[in-house]
Structure 1
Amino acid sequence: MSKFKKYLDDLIEHKGTEMELIEKGIVNLTDVPNILTLRQLTRITLSHNKLSVLPAGIADLVNLEILTLFNNHLQELPITMSSLPKLRILNLGVNRLSSLPRGFGAFPVLEVLDLTYNNLDEKSLPANFFCLETLRGLFLSDNDFQGLPPEIGKLKNLQILVLRENDLISLPKEIGNLTRLRELHIQGNRLTVLPPELGNLDLVGTKQVFKGENNPWVPPIADQFQIGASHVFDYIRSDTYKYLYGRHVAAGSPPPPITNDKSKKISRKV
Structure 2
Amino acid sequence: MNEVPVSCIPAAGKMSKTKKIIDEACDLQNPELDLADKSVTSFEEMPGLLNMLNVTRITLSHNKINAIPPGLANLVNLEILNLFDNQITDLPISLSQMPKLRILNLGMNRLNILPRGFGAFPALEVLDLTYNNLNEKNLPGNFFMMETLRALYLADNDFEYLPSEIGQLKNLQILVLRENDLIELPKEIGDLNRLRELHIQGNRLTVLPPEIGNLDLVSNKAVFRMEFNPWVTPIGDQLQVGISHVIDYIRSETYKYVYNRHQSAKGPPPPIEADKSKKLSRLV
Classify the TM-score, shorter chain. Answer: over 0.9
Shift of residue 160 of structure 1? 0.2
Matches within 5 A, 1:62-141: 62-141=76-155
Q: Secondary structure at the match of 1:11?
A: helix
Q: Which residue is 1:259 aligned to?
A: 273
Looking at CA atoms only, which structure, 1 or 2, has the larger radius of gyration? 2
Pick one of 131, 146, 149 that aligns with 2:160.
Answer: 146
* 1:41 is aligned to 2:55: yes
**1-side partners of 2:212 and 2:194: how far apart?**
12
Q: Which amino acid aligns with 2:189?
A: I
Q: Which amino acid aligns with 2:27?
A: E
Q: Secondary structure at the match of 1:90?
A: strand
**2-side partners of 1:142 and 1:256: how far apart?**
18
Shift of residue 223 of structure 1? 0.4
Pick one of 4, 23, 28 that aligns with 1:9.
Answer: 23
Shift of residue 6 of structure 1? 2.3
Pick one of 253, 259, 263 that aligns with 1:239.
Answer: 253
Pick one of 233, 247, 261 that aligns with 1:219.
Answer: 233
Q: Could you list the per-position Cα deviations for residues 6-44 of structure 1 after superposition, in whole angstroms to 9, with x for gaps in the alignment?
A: 222211111110110111111110100111010100000
Aligned length: 270
**2-side partners of 1:171 and 1:5: how far apart?**
47
* RMSD, matched Cα: 0.7
Shift of residue 5 of structure 1? 2.8
**2-side partners of 1:182 and 1:8: how far apart?**
39
| Unaligned ranges ≥5, structure 1 | none
Q: Which amino acid aligns with 2:152?
A: L
Q: Secondary structure at the match of 2:245?
A: helix
Q: Which residue is 2:179 aligned to?
A: 165
Q: Secondary structure at the match of 1:156?
A: coil
Q: Which residue is 1:155 aligned to?
A: 169
* 1:28 is aligned to 2:42: yes
Range with greater deviation from structure 2 (20-29 or 100-109): 20-29
Q: Which residue is 2:4 aligned to?
A: none
**1-side partners of 2:165 and 2:258: how far apart?**
25
**1-side partners of 2:20 and 2:267: how far apart?**
63
TM-score (norm. length: structure 1)? 0.99
Shift of residue 205 of structure 1? 2.0
**2-side partners of 1:35 and 1:265: how far apart?**
31
Q: Which amino acid aligns with 1:227?
A: V
Q: What percent identity do the matched residue pairs reach? A: 66
Range with greater deviation from structure 2 (137-146 or 8-17): 8-17
**2-side partners of 1:39 and 1:124: how far apart?**
32
| Unaligned ranges ≥5, structure 2 | 1-12
